[in-house]
Structure 1
Amino acid sequence: MAEPSIGDRTERRAHDRADDRAAVDDEVVRFTSELIRIDTTNRGGGDCRERPAAEYVAERLAEAGLEPAVLESAPGRANVVARVAGSDPSAPALLVHGHLDVVPADPSQWRVHPFSGEVRDGMVWGRGAIDMKNANAMVLSVVRAWARAGRRPRRDIVLAFTADEEDSAAYGADWLVREHAGLFDGCTEGISESGAYTYHARTTGGDPVRIYPVGAGERGTAWLRLTARGTAGHGSKTDPGAVNAVSELAAAVTRIADHRWPVRLTPTTRAALTEIGAAVGVKVDLEAPGFDPQFDVDAVLERLGPAAALVRSTVRNSTNPTVLDAGYKVNVIPESAGAGVDGRMLPGAEEEFTAALDELTGPRVDWEFAHRSAPLTAPVETPTFAAMRAALLAHDPGAHVVPVCLSGGTDAKQFAELGITGYGFSPLRLPPSLDYGALFHGVDERVPVDALRFGTRVLDAFLSAVD
């Protein structure tokens, strides 16, 4: 029998690639849907069960020839870690991590049941479709495609699917870092959620522009507990010398809410302002001779138009009161009152944050950190960031890839304790009609099928090429 010609072999390889592309396209949608159907609602305080999702992920990885470890930090609180061996043992390993838990969802408020994973109108619907079972599905699809094709990345890829990110990470990444640090040996960088999605803006001339913000830093988490103590008594009494805990707390909460934090520009946010400005046609030269470090950043944000939303929350620290807890009966003055405040701290501004809270709370209100994690910053002039940029632009030419500091936090904070530099990179190409930010923890969370397929292509390109 004659050997196949070069043309025949080329045609066969093209056919195989098309078949595998179709398999990846099918798997990423199916895996997203099936993961959503596994209810991993995290209500906080330890009330969550990720184990069924962890077993699902482990089964998909085992089918690809990997040896995943399912690690429970407490009954039902499971994590999965696996390593994909790279072709160059001397290269540093790369961590790819995503959380398995989701925030609560009230089915009565949704058009589609939040745990149905229904595919409708070109979208996969349900809690976790954006945050972040979609990204977990993309990772699973890509590594399974590698296994089918016999491909290997250059660097070892450590996969971590974690519990408890939507609370304190105590049962997830924090526990893994403390109890199983050896699983991450060799990892110098990592990627996870909240970056590389399409943000639609317009130039100053009105032309549409596509921006892909990649996370290169995070504000630190500072969840605060405020406590005011006063004189208990009957609600009808008037005592000039008494201290009313509720009014003292209310005054402190108002001062905190009204506080105008000073501008603090991190290297990442400086780069973001410059590059977003270039994308929309606004010159922002923060390195110019004679640059005034006290410049009016709010005026610059105004000129950036809608794209300013990518950086507005990260030019300052912030404190938002979120919880009030006082009293038990209208005619009883309580002896104490409490409040919760969601605070966020920029890199380098932590001392400023604590000093301001001491002043804002005043002498009659105590405060403490209920949960605290450090802010992060990641360099952008690196081969890794360049590879992320190149992978996105290869699949969406004409777009703009910019670094941003994330206003919130991710498990990257925990993995940073192992010296792992974290980036937000979960690629999605989204239509202008879809408000990505509103879908996080929102009603009718959903992700376009086409966005998932785009994400697998970009993720594959990045993980295959990154040095």
Structure 2
Amino acid sequence: MTTPATDPGTQAAHPTAEDEVVGICQDLLRIDTSNYGDGSGPGERDAAEYVMGSLCEVGLDPEIFESAPGRASVVVRMPGVDPARPALVLHGHTDVVPAAAEDWTVDPFGGEEIDGLLWGRGAVDMKDMDAMILAVVRQMVREGRRPARDLVVAFFADEEAGGRFGARYAVDHRPDLFEGATEAISEVGGFSVDVAGRRTYLLQTAEKGIGWLRLVADGRAGHGSQVNTENAVTHLAAAVARIGNHPWPLQLTPTVHALLSGVADLTGLPFDPEDPDAVDRLVDALGPAARFVGATVRNTANPTQLQAGYKSNVIPGTAHAVLDTRFLPGYEDEARATLERLAGDHVRIEDLHRDRALEVPFAGDLVDAMVSALHAEDPGATVLPYTLSGGTDNKSLARLGITGYGFAPLQLPPSLDFAAMFHGVDERVPVQSLTFGVRVLDRLLATC
């Protein structure tokens, strides 16, 4: 596969995607788009305005819209070489989780380049991919090249809080923007790991479902000095302990099964899907990516918040806890039934946010094109499917029947704990990974 031909004069007159991607990423990192989940985070409108300017500068006509004041998203449609083919959605999100500056080695919103890495909140989740998308799109327009089919490029707000003010709003209120689209590409896939000395790229073809749940225990309020057998705090604490300590069973979905089978082939380790120890050894062989994969062999439920009472000598009438539960594709009902049982008779469960699990085939023309684009830049590398333990805006697009994949291509050094960068301290991405990514993405959009 070769890079599409360009006019030498045009190429010399304008910076390429490889020239621009680092600067664009730094600009985005310096815009504080922290999403606190309560609508108070700044910056999404500022980031959207930056994206608008970048796209308008090369002659595109993007649309910016808000779901609420400041909660801005941007979408632009690029005509393809073959408009008869279904459109492809290429999307990112501009918000990030908050970062406590005192915990970081550098300013989390400084966008510094140190020793060949870009540091900052969003460097991997996902302003790196946002920058790659912008850089490649700008290069294509400048060079007069069109994607292989119609391309819907979207930058959404609010992904880090479930997408209600971003992708979900766009799907519910502006489905016309995605007319004719059947497939989508977004974050957390296409990155490399080292498996038995062999560089292996993990292409995301599935993601767990999300259930952010509130546990509510009701009891009898009273004086703290009295005997109280209907103490809401006691009921809640027991339920939280049962759920937090529950040993969820091993359950391998088709995607996880395919991944572990591929790892077994690379390592020579045995694969017995019924043997937890054998599964754990294969997961460990994935190095830093084991954090992602290890959470996808079973359902999970983690208590994350507790709230009860207002004074040391008053027994409260209610107590609350919050759970972050993630369920495997096809196992949502089973997981909920287990949680109801563990919560017990004195605690009820309320939904804060729920969204579907996804699983799509590791096959088809788009998958073949993604694999070919990687192989063109890294011949001989292995590409395997995997399940994301978190979630992406592909969940919202799935409501329109759009099949989503995670493919933000990054060739990473084996020593970088990539999984720890997501929502972690000192988030950073290698500059060379970004330039690799734009080359892969440019090839993909020309052929897929």
- Give the distance between the partners of 1:277 and 1:310, measured in 2 at CA: 18
Aligned length: 440
Q: Which deviates more, 145-154 or 79-88?
A: 145-154
1:238 partnered with 2:227:
yes
Partner residue of 2:32?
39
Check 1:458–1:20 CA distance in 2 against 1; reply closer, same or farther (3 A cut).
farther
- Specify the alignment match of 1:205 in structure 2: none
State the Cα RMSD in Å: 1.8
Q: Which of residues 262, 281, 284 in structure 1 aligns to 2:268? A: 281
Which residue is equivalent to 1:25?
A: 18
Paired with 1:420 and 1:360, the residues of 2 have a C-alpha distance of 36
Task: State the Cα deviation string for residues 278-329 of structure 1 (Å, max 9, x = none).
Answer: 2223354x8xxxxxxx711442332453315453211211101111111122
AA paired with 1:100? T
Q: Which residue of 1 aligns with 2:67?
A: 73
User: Matches of 1:161 and 1:366 in 2, distance apart?
Assistant: 37
Secondary structure at the aligned position of 1:46 is classed as: coil
**Counterpart position of 1:424:** 406
Asked if 1:59 corresponds to 2:59, the answer is no
Tell me, yes or no, if the aligned pair for 1:213 and 1:310 is still in contact at 8 Å: no
- CA distance in 1: counterparts of 2:200 and 2:355, whole angstroms: 29
Does 2:82 correspond to 1:88?
Answer: yes
Letter of the structure 2 residue corresponding to residue 234 of structure 1: H
Which range is displaced more, 254-263 or 225-234? 254-263
- The answer to whether the Cα contact below 8 Å between 1:194 and 1:424 also exists between their aligned partners in 2 is yes
Contact 1:264 1:349 survives alignment (8 Å): no
Q: Distance in 1 between matches of 2:69 and 2:150?
A: 30
TM-score by length of 1: 0.91
**Local SS of the residue matching 2:398:** helix
Which stretches of structure 1, 4 residues or more, deviate above 6 A after TM superposition? none
- Aligned-pair distance for 1:48? 2.5
Alpha-carbon deviations, 1:256-287, whole Å to 9, x = none? 11112222222211211112222223354x8x
Q: Report the 3-state secondary structure (helix = DSSP H, G, I; strand = E; otherwise coil) of the residue aligned with 2:67.
A: strand
Choose from 164, 174, 178 the match for 2:168. Answer: 174
Q: Give the direction of change, closer, same or farther, for the CA distance of 1:97–1:53 in structure 2 (3 Å limit).
A: same
> For residue 319 of structure 2, what is the aligned residue in structure 1?
337
Structure 1 counterpart of 2:204, one-letter code: G
- 2: CA distance, partners of 1:26 / 1:232: 65
Partner of 2:249: 262
**1:412 aligned partner:** 394
Task: Provide the rounded CA distance (Å) in 1 between the counterparts of 2:323 and 2:235.
Answer: 16
Aligned-partner Cα distance in 2 for 1:108–1:36:
17
Distance 1:355 1:259, change over 3 A: same
Work out which of the residue numbers 335, 343, 353 in structure 2 matches 1:371: 353
Structure 2: gaps spanning 5 or more residues: none
Structure 1, unaligned runs of 5 or more: 1-11, 203-207, 287-293
**2:147·2:447 contact (CA, 8 Å) conserved in 1?**
yes
Structure-2 change in CA distance of 1:17 and 1:440 (3 Å): farther
User: Once the 2 structures are TM-superposed, how far is the Cα of residue 178 of structure 1 from its aligned partner?
Assistant: 0.6
Counterpart code for 1:27: E
In the aligned structure 1, how far is the partner of 2:121 from the partner of 2:256? 31
Q: TM-score, normalised by structure 2?
A: 0.94
Aligned ranges for residues 38-437 of structure 1 at < 5 Å? Answer: 38-49=31-42, 50-202=44-196, 208-239=197-228, 242-284=229-271, 295-303=274-282, 305-307=284-286, 308-437=290-419
| SS in structure 1 at match of 2:74 | strand
Q: Rg larger in 1 or in 2?
A: 1
Question: What letter is aligned with 2:189?
Answer: G
SS, match of residue 343 in structure 1: strand
Distance 1:417 1:157, change over 3 A: same
1:83-137 deviation line (CA, Å, top 9, x unaligned): 1110101111000110010111111221211111112211111111111111011
Looking at structure 1, the residues matched to 219 and 50 of structure 2 have their Cα atoms a distance apart, in angstroms, of 52
Question: Structure 1 residues 39 and 120, CA, compared in 2 at 3 Å: closer, same or farther?
Answer: same
TM-superposed CA distance for 1:462, in Å, is: 1.2
Q: Residue 367 of structure 1 aligns to which amino acid in structure 2?
A: I
Shift of 1:380: 0.8
Q: Percent identity?
A: 51
